[in-house]
């Protein structure tokens, strides 16, 4: 996993306008070591609490659009603030974290740094935020509108039933029926079954199996 430290002078490149000053206030007050990571498929951000030997450490994927980067950073800052208040005595995404994350989001919503559609999506879950923005389908779908276009990638929901698609790591799946909120898909090489979010991005293939 490749990371690079985020110099203060370039941090603005990753953030929406008019957010740098408040973000820096948190980072500097808590002596946070912030790094920007290359694309990681399994996580968008990461937090490691301070120890006797090191400061708080936060990493955020640098390929996120500015609004997704800020929301992910606030997610990790909420972990930091939860640790500062409760130590390791509460669940990582429990009600204490949810309350603190909701308060952080509310501050930035109040400052009108998000477009109306993202603000609306955030307001829907402000009092009970998901453990990951990837788990909040409305928010993820809305944030994707602000991504740079990625060639021929589409959402899994846009692939026809029975058709093949390729994931970013090169694996090929056959799309099956929807089960509750996710699609049941079979990996062609192993015949193993996986459940995909409707808004997971993939590359549709022309072959049918």
Separation of CA 184 from chain center: 23
Same domain, 101 and 8: yes
Within a domain: 149: no
Last residue of a domain, one of 126, 144, 162: 144
pLDDT of residue 209: 44
Give me the torsion for CA of 161, 167, 172, 175, rounded to 10°: -10
pLDDT of residue 8: 61
Same domain, 25 and 107: yes
Same domain, 114 and 184: no
Within a domain: 130: yes
Same domain, 74 and 177: no
Same domain, 169 and 68: no
The whole domain housing 80 covers: 3-144
pLDDT of residue 166: 95
Q: Which CATH number goes with the domain that contains 165?
A: 2.30.30
Same domain, 96 and 131: yes
Same domain, 120 and 171: no
Q: Specify the length of the chain in residues.
A: 209
Give CA–CA dist 10/103, Å, rounded: 26
User: How many distinct structural domains can be found in the chain?
Assistant: 2
Last residue of a domain, one of 144, 173, 188: 144
Q: Is the pLDDT of residue 63 over 50?
A: yes
Same domain, 111 and 161: no
pLDDT digits (tens, 9 = 90+) for 18-50: 999 999 999 999 999 999 987 776 688 999 999
Same domain, 45 and 127: yes
Encode 111-170 in three state secondary structure. Answer: CCCCCHHHHHHHHHCCCCCCCCHHHCHHHHHHHHCCCCCCCCCEEHHHCCCCEEEECCCC
Same domain, 103 and 58: yes
**Strand spans (E) along the chain:** 3-5, 33-37, 45-48, 57-61, 154-155, 163-166, 172-179, 182-187, 193-196, 201-208
Within a domain: 129: yes
Same domain, 91 and 130: yes
Q: Is the pLDDT of residue 161 over 90?
A: yes
Question: How many CB atoms neighbour CB 46 within 10 A?
Answer: 18
Same domain, 74 and 52: yes
9/156: higher pLDDT = 156
Q: Which of 4-8, 30-34, 176-180 has the lowest mean pLDDT?
A: 4-8
Last residue of a domain, one of 144, 162, 187: 144
- Cα angle: 99, vertex 73, 64; to 5 degrees: 130
Minimal CA–CA distance to 19: which of 108, 99, 93? 108
What angle do helix axes 116-124 and 95-110 make, rounded to 10 degrees?
A: 150
pLDDT of residue 49: 93
Within a domain: 34: yes
Within a domain: 102: yes
Q: Which of 25-29, 131-135, 166-170 has the lowest mean pLDDT?
A: 131-135
Residue 208 tokens, joined: 């049918």
What's the farthest any 2 CA atoms get from each other in the chain? 57
């Amino acid at each position: 996993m490749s990371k690079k430290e985020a110099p203060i002078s370039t941090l603005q490149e990753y953030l929406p306008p008019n957010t740098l000053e408040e973000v820096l206030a948190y980072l500097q007050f808590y002596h946070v070591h912030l790094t920007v990571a290359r694309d990681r498929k399994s996580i968008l951000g990461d937090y490691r609490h301070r120890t006797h030997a090191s400061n708080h450490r936060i990493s955020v994927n640098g390929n996120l659009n500015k609004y997704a980067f800020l929301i992910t950073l606030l997610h990790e800052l909420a972990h930091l603030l939860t640790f500062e208040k409760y130590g390791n005595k509460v669940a990582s995404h429990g009600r204490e974290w949810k309350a603190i994350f909701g308060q952080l989001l509310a501050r930035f919503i109040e400052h009108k740094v998000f477009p109306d559609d993202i603000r609306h999506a955030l307001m829907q879950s402000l009092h009970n935020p998901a453990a990951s923005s990837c788990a909040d389908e409305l928010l993820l779908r809305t944030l994707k509108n602000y991504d740079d276009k990625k060639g021929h990638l589409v959402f899994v929901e846009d692939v026809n039933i029975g058709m093949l698609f390729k994931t970013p790591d090169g694996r090929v799946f056959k799309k099956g029926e929807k089960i509750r909120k996710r699609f049941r898909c079979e990996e062609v090489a192993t015949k193993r079954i996986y459940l995909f979010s409707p808004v997971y991005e993939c590359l549709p293939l022309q072959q049918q199996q």
